[in-house]
């Protein structure tokens, strides 16, 4: 069984990086996926590169939720803006 290792679509990674940059996080353009470590640091979650098997599900969810939640909010904002343009 293969294990899913995050979203590898470069457009989605670029979108994630842009959203998190707007949220005030430093984003490395060459490695935008590494913003998760900055988010974890802000939240006090001991996320590190490599194995994180001792990290609780709750802690991992806080990091992913912060990133994913910001992305969803931005997607909703973009959709609302698009609808407003189509239906003035």
Residue 8 has a pLDDT of 74
Does 65 score more than 90 pLDDT?
A: yes
* H or E element in which residue 54 lies: none
Burial of 60 (0-12, 13-18, 19+ CB in 10 A): middle
At 1 the pLDDT is 43
How much is the average pLDDT of 42-46? 95
Q: Is 55 exposed, middle or buried (0-12, 13-18, 19+ CB in 10 A)?
A: middle
The gap from C-alpha 13 to its chain's centroid, in whole angstroms, comes to 8
Q: Would the pTM count as exceeding 0.85?
A: no
pLDDT of residue 78: 95
pLDDT greater at residue 86 or residue 47: 47
Residue closest to 26 by CA, chosen among 12, 42, 11, 10: 42
pLDDT classification of 31: cutoffs 50, 70, 90: confident
């Amino acid at each position: 069984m293969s294990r899913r290792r995050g979203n590898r679509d470069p457009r989605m990674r670029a979108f994630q990086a842009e959203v998190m940059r707007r949220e005030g996080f430093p984003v490395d353009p060459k490695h935008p996926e590494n913003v998760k470590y900055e988010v974890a640091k802000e939240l006090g979650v001991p996320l590190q590169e490599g194995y994180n098997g001792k990290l609780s599900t709750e802690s991992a969810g806080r990091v992913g939720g912060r990133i994913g939640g910001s992305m969803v909010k931005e997607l909703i904002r973009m959709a609302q803006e698009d609808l407003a343009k189509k239906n003035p």
